[in-house]
Each structure stands twice: as C-alpha cells, then as structure tokens.
Structure 1
Amino acid sequence: MSKRPSTANTLVLPPFGPVRTRRVFEDICDQIRGQVLAGILRPGDKLPAERELAEQFGVSRTAVREALRSLEIAGVVKLQKGVKGGAFIQGGSPGVLTQSIRDMVALGRISLESLTEARLFICDIVVRLACQRGKEADFRALDDNIQLTEELERMQENLRRTEAVVDFYRLLANAAHNEVLSILMLSTAEIVRQVLARLAPAPSAGLFESRRRLVQYLRARDEEKAVAEITAHLKRIHRYILRQEKLRNI
C-alpha cells in the first residue's frame, strides 16, 4: 500500500496528473477515487484546496467544483463550508445505495416484483450466515428489538415502531457478520418501508410471534427452519405490497 507522507498539520498527497479528456470532471473523479482505492486517501482526509486541485489537474476551478459535487452526491466526499471547511473523504454511506435504488423504483426502472424477489434472496443468505456465525449477543439484540417494537405498538408510537421494525433487519444482518450483506439488507428493508408508507401500513398480525420463532431457530442453528420462517413472513408482506399497488392503479 502506498505511503502517506505528511507534515505536522497537513496531509501531503502525491500530485494529481493533468486532465485532457472532454468531460474533465469525470477524469478528476476517477483520479480521486483511484487514490481512495489505493489507500492514499482515507476517511477523514481533507483534499487540497479547490485552487490547488485546479492547478494540479490543469483545469478550471469550475471543473473541480463540478467533480467535487459529483463525488459528494456519490458519498465519496463531504463538502464543508467555513474557515475549517473543504472537501473531506467520507467513510461511505449505505444511504447513497438506498437512494439510488429507491429512485430507480420510483422511475419504474426497477419493478416492485424485482425488488421483493431480490430481498428474498438476500434474506435467505443473511439468515443462513446468521445461523452459522451469530453470537449470543447478536441474538439478545434481536430479542430486545422485538420487545421494544411490541412496547412501541402498545404505546401507538407508530413512527418509532416503524423504525424499530426496520432496525430488526439491521440487527439480523449484523448477526451474519458480512458488511456487504448488511448494506444490501438494510437498503432493501428501508426501501420496502418507504413503499409501505406510500401505500398503507402493513398489518402486524403474527409479526412478533414470527420474529421470536426466527430468533429461536437462529439460536438452534437450524438454517432451514429459520429461512422458511423469514421467507413466509416476507412473502406475506410482498403479496400485500403488490395487492395494494394494484388497487392504487385501478
């Protein structure tokens, strides 16, 4: 991995190369992403000032500004204003993926059928890994979430209850101990939550019993029963979504 030369106060980066392509902002983005991939730039690092970047790339400050905005939208950098502001490398945000998929669902480029089908496959893998890798602390966190969700429902705290329902999938993915699957699991769960908020709240009958059975099967390392339990629940939710969507379009 490349070394990271630095001074006492400022990180000194290898100079970027001149840009000669027609869409220069894309080349700027590629070079910055390249240094992130190489480990030269890491989360929290501050990029050189806009004027200095323009000189290194051999482009206008407008092109640099456009590139930084593009990287901000992609979640690679965060732009901060003020005396101590600038462009900082981000640690990565699952929200960017969620927003991208949600936009494609809204635009009709991804169908609800495709979304729900993909979610079933992701949950299948996550549950199997949770059976194999989950620790008691993971299962206790799921138990606590179920109890909290029940309490919020009794209190009719609908917004917090919905957040807790989605958080169950985050905790389940944590038990699988795979960062990529955690991002995919949480993204699909959040998009389904947003779809339900647009259509109508899903019925909660049998939800808590199903989740308790799921955790029981996870503790027993019974992959087949655990997968069957969550698959049956998700299929009920997905049928409900598709039915509500059809009624909405009549």
Structure 2
Amino acid sequence: MPRDFAPIKRRRLSDAVSAQIQDRIAAGELRAGDKLPPERELAERFGVSRGAVREALRNLERTGVVALQAGARGGAFIGQGDPSLIGDSFRNLYQLGGVSLDDLTEARIWLESTVVRIACERATEADLAALAANVDEAERLLLAERYEDKIDIQVEFHNLLAKATHNVVMVMLMAALMDVMRDFAHAVGGERTDLTIRARRRFLAALRQRDAAAAVAEMTEHLESLQVRYRERMRDRRGSSRA
C-alpha cells in the first residue's frame, strides 16, 4: 500500500474505516484480489479497535467490496463486486411495495427497447443460437406441463438477450430487473399457454433480420400483453383465496 491509513476521528468508526478502504479502491491503490493487512495491523493504522475494523470488513463483504476467507491463507481480500446485490435491492423495494407492476413493466419496456436495438447490431450467431435454444427448451417444458420450471427458462431469455449486447452494464441492469420478475412470476404461477413462446419466435425472426424496429415493436407488444395477463392471474388468485 503506497499510503498509510489516517487515524479515525468520527463517531461511527466502522463507517469511516469502510470509507477509507473504498477511497483507496476508487483511487486505484487497491485492486480486486489485493489482500488487506490483518485486523490487528489495520486497527493500529486506523487508530481504532479491532471490533471497528471487523465490523467495517463485514459491511464491505455484504456489498461485495471485500471477500473474507478463512484458513491459514485466508484474510480480507478486495472483491470483484457482486452485481446480484442490485437485484436484491430491487427485490426488497418490490416486496415492500415501493415498486409496482406498472413501474416494472414501464422500466422493462425502456430497457429492453435499448437492449434489442443494440442486440440487433451486435448479436453473434452464438447469441442467436442460445436464444433459439432457450425458446425450444421453454416449449419442451410447456408440453411436459412443467410450468414453474418454464418460468426460469423464460426469464433467462431476457438475460441472454442482454448478453447479446456485449455490454456488462446492460447485463447487470437486466439481471436486476429479471430477478424481481422471476419472484413475481413464481408468485402468480406459471403460464399454461404458448403465447410467450409464439411471441419469442416472432421476435427472433426480426432479430435475425437485424430489423430493430420490428424487434422492438414485438418485444413491447409482448411485455404489454404479459402485463395484462399477469393482472388477470393476480385477480384470479385473489378471488380463489377469498373463496
């Protein structure tokens, strides 16, 4: 480490420790995989107790900034980050009522419209093959009446589409949204029709033709139709529960 850590003078000592470590990461002085000094040494450098250092490291571990490893060669290492935490935040907001189905659908239309346009330009033959195989698997599960398993496959279609942009930020944003949609879809139950599968095949035809306008229109129509079907299933579930 090129610089020493400065003594902490704030009340929330663990927060201040965390902030200094994050500052070093932002400055490029600490990189993924770097090992931090032992707790005792960190406590001396920061001028705080080992308990404050331990709490700071655990907080950073929860956010994916630090990875704590046990054993003789263990310790605290700068992590790679955890994109799934974005999805966890969205999921918590949805479960607490801070995000509605309308909000989710609107955000999905905006995001997927951009993703589709980029995918039309960048998707490789391997990307197209993965998307087609996903639709084939969803159809197989439908015919086998494995409706709940089909949900996960159909959610993965959107993640594969985001990967076809070859942009890691788009992949993370899509994964976060689809984590919420997976929970929601399982809550209302798997769809027992082939409406989504047929929509996917039309969409893939436009994508293969690199027709961005047609592909965006097909995806938007599908998401709006899906929202209506979700509402119907939610209403049916509420009615059956009251009965």
- The TM-score normalised by the length of structure 1 is 0.86
Structure 1 stretch 114-123 or stretch 202-211: which is displaced more? Answer: 202-211
In structure 2, the gaps of 5 or more residues are none
Write the distance in 2 (CA, Å) between the matches of 1:184 and 1:173.
9
Cα deviation digits, residues 180-230 of structure 1 (max 9, x gap): 111111111121111121222234422222112212211211111101111
Out of 120, 124, 131, the position equivalent to 2:109 is: 120
Tell me what 1:183 maps to: 172
Count matched residues.
239
Contact 1:138 1:175 in 2 (8 A): yes
Out of 169, 192, 200, the position equivalent to 2:158 is: 169
Q: Counterpart amino acid of 2:30?
A: L
Cα deviation digits, residues 95-135 of structure 1 (max 9, x gap): 11111110111112222321221111111110011112222
Contact 1:152 1:160 in 2 (8 A): yes
Contact 1:17 1:56 in 2 (8 A): yes
Question: Do residues 38 (structure 1) and 3 (structure 2) align?
Answer: no
Contact 2:148 2:186 in 1 (8 A): no
Structure 1 stretch 236-245 or stretch 50-59: which is displaced more? Answer: 236-245
Write the distance in 1 (CA, Å) between the matches of 2:191 and 2:235.
15
- Relative distance call for 1:60 and 1:246 in structure 2 (3 A) is farther
Tell me what 1:214 maps to: 203
Structure 1 stretch 179-188 or stretch 202-211: which is displaced more? Answer: 202-211
Tell me what 2:15 maps to: 26
Tell me what 1:7 maps to: none
Out of 177, 182, 190, the position equivalent to 1:201 is: 190
Structure 1 stretch 67-76 or stretch 197-206: which is displaced more? Answer: 197-206
Identical columns (%): 42
Q: 1:236: how far off? A: 2.1
Cα deviation digits, residues 164-195 of structure 1 (max 9, x gap): 22221111001112211111111111211111
Question: Do residues 151 (structure 1) and 140 (structure 2) align?
Answer: yes
Out of 10, 28, 38, the position equivalent to 1:49 is: 38
- Relative distance call for 1:54 and 1:243 in structure 2 (3 A) is farther
Write the distance in 1 (CA, Å) between the matches of 2:149 and 2:233.
23
Write the distance in 1 (CA, Å) between the matches of 2:17 and 2:235.
45
Q: Counterpart amino acid of 2:45?
A: Q
In structure 1, the gaps of 5 or more residues are 1-11
Write the distance in 2 (CA, Å) between the matches of 1:32 and 1:101.
26
Write the distance in 2 (CA, Å) between the matches of 1:216 and 1:205.
17
Write the distance in 2 (CA, Å) between the matches of 1:159 and 1:243.
18
Contact 1:77 1:90 in 2 (8 A): yes
Q: Counterpart amino acid of 1:239?
A: V
Out of 73, 85, 93, the position equivalent to 2:74 is: 85
Out of 100, 110, 115, the position equivalent to 2:99 is: 110
Write the distance in 2 (CA, Å) between the matches of 1:99 and 1:165.
20
SS in 2 for 1:52: helix
Q: 1:157: how far off? A: 4.5
- The TM-score normalised by the length of structure 2 is 0.89
Write the distance in 2 (CA, Å) between the matches of 1:214 and 1:88.
44
Contact 1:95 1:187 in 2 (8 A): yes
Q: Counterpart amino acid of 1:33?
A: Q
Q: Counterpart amino acid of 1:82?
A: G
SS in 2 for 1:140: helix
Contact 2:147 2:190 in 1 (8 A): no
Contact 1:166 1:186 in 2 (8 A): no
